[in-house]
A = this chain, B = another copy of it.
């Protein structure tokens, strides 16, 4: 019965075809202009066909969201070779920020938009997110065990660091840092530099010396 296996493979291939097209269009045209009709036209299928592979648009967003997490995980993976856990932790943060600035739409998908999370069937772990968080967690844990970090617990430290970096990035992506335009911040400081300098400061708060 090799047929049903081929069928299954074709089903996956078709899913991938749709996801690839969706991501391509999403990155090129943005959130607003990503329509099911547009995707269907792009892959030369009828609009209804997409519903044979995805329950609804949110489910498609969920698949795109997983794809995006794999991209970030790839970036993180290159840091695994760094022996010094403190240095690895620092690089983790800067890599995260750089990823967000290089791929603002993907960042949206991963951490800001509601759609991908609506599509999880019955709270199935959200593995992709946990994989990425796990990377941060083990690094913090290593630093914490070696008494290199201030803070109450591994997860609270990891959570705090993640939150701060996410907060900075998402405020920037949503234009809430415009308040710094007319006032305060030194003129030669653009937002990206403000964020990187603040993260540097954050590390100094956490790291014992």
Contacts and interface: CB of A to CB of B under 8 A. Distances in A.
Interface of A: 111-114, 117, 123, 125-126, 129-130, 133, 137, 150-152, 155-157, 159-160, 162-168, 170-171, 174-176, 178-185, 194, 197-198, 201-202, 204-206
A114 B171 CA distance: 11
Please tell me how many copies of the chain the complex holds.
Answer: 2
B167 A162 contact: yes
B184 A152 contact: no
A156 B199 CA distance: 9
A117 B155 CA distance: 34
A126 B205 contact: no
Contacts of A180: 155, 159
A176 B129 contact: yes
A88 B122 CA distance: 42
Contacts of A155: 180, 184-185
Contact of A133 (B151, B175, B179): B179
Contacts of A198: 156, 159-160, 163
A201 B152 CA distance: 7
A203 to B, nearest CB: 11
B178 A126 contact: yes
A123 B167 contact: no
A206 B174 CA distance: 27
Contacts of A171: 111, 162-163, 166
B174 A163 contact: no
Nearest to A151: B201
Contacts of A197: 152, 156
A193 to B, nearest CB: 11
A111 to B, nearest CB: 6
B151 A160 contact: no
B168 A159 contact: yes
A191 to B, nearest CB: 10
